[in-house]
Homo-oligomer: A and B are copies of this chain.
């Protein structure tokens, strides 16, 4: 036996406190370092006296594994990389808030990379891969095309949102076409005859596709719309205000006409809650009632949606499920990529009826 028969209160060798290593724990528990490693990492079936002794010793010495050493030996770093275009992007922020607690229960850590352009995102991918992250979640920047960079990597990668262009990596996306279908149907069922769409201009193919989907759905529900009503633009309050002013600014003059619904929309679908909010402010200023004169649907189900009067009907992205699926796909490893599409949820509130 190399360990002494008595069990001395083994002190850490290092000068600074708080640096107990596996050797100290092993000495205190009177077992080998290998056993300590096995017990603490759960690779040992029995929960006998030895296991208890090891845990007690680790506890007493306030031991925690050295992740660097562990990573060096086992090629597992217990880290997950997340790349987002910007922390001020609402969806990215929501994902962060949902993701962090989940990684924590796995005693994993989140390495963050921010890149708003394709080039920056590629840089961040390279640098996180160089850190040996166990997996990578990427919220693609609008218009970024990362397929080539992603294909090259050996680790599980999950792309969130954006368009799938690689069959070697996984993707979890939000079914915005379904959201559009829900929105138009919801409006049609509430008796609306015409509708306008304030779309998002972010240069992406998805936006264009969604714009087409809007028209498809409008036709399928026999609603009216007008080329001049539907425009691409920013996701800002101001933009919503201006658009509503343009659409309804001279509406009062024409009241009484029975084809009024063809002159101005009876409902607005907005690409973002902020746009919807701006539109509601404008309508209020014009003396038009929501939902009486105009019904409104936003997107994102941001906190803003609860603060308008009436409260805003909005499309809620499935953030929690997205995060859960992403982590599941990473745990599954790089060999089993999958493409998952999750439906959002239409949260009906006062702005589309009562």
Contact = CB atoms under 8 A, between A and B. Distances in A.
Interface of A: 16, 18, 64, 66-69, 71-72, 77, 79, 82, 86-88, 90, 92-94, 96-97, 100-101, 104, 107, 109-114, 123-124, 127-128, 130-132, 154, 236-238, 241, 277-278, 281, 284-285, 303-304, 306-309
Contacts of A236: 303, 307
8 contacts: A66-B132, A67-B68, A82-B112, A96-B112, A100-B113, A104-B127, A109-B111, A241-B307
A89 to B, nearest CB: 9
Given A66-B72, A278-B307, A88 B94 contact: yes
B67 A132 contact: yes
A114 B101 contact: yes
A96 B163 CA distance: 26
A12 B62 CA distance: 39
A308 B241 CA distance: 10
B72 A69 contact: yes
A237 B67 contact: no
A154 B97 contact: no
Contacts of A304: 237
Nearest to A303: B236
The 7 closest A-B pairs by CB, nearest first: A238-B307, A68-B71, A87-B96, A87-B93, A100-B114, A68-B72, A237-B307
A16 B152 CA distance: 12
A110 B112 contact: yes
A196 to B, nearest CB: 20
Contacts of A67: 68, 130-132
Nearest to A281: B281
A77 B87 contact: no
B97 A114 contact: yes
A93 B100 contact: no
Contacts of A18: 154
A149 to B, nearest CB: 13
B130 A64 contact: yes
A115 B283 CA distance: 40
Contacts of A238: 306-309
Contacts of A88: 90, 93-94, 97
Contacts of A79: 111
A110 B109 contact: no
Contacts of A94: 87-88
Contact of A68 (B68, B96, B123): B68
Residue among A66, A100, A241 with the highest chain B CB neighbour number at 10 A: A100
Given A86-B93, A87-B97, A281-B281, 6 more contacts: A67-B68, A68-B71, A82-B112, A96-B112, A97-B114, A101-B114
A159 B158 CA distance: 33
A305 to B, nearest CB: 11
A105 to B, nearest CB: 11
Nearest to A107: B127
Contact of A100 (B107, B112, B303, B309): B112
A182 B51 CA distance: 63
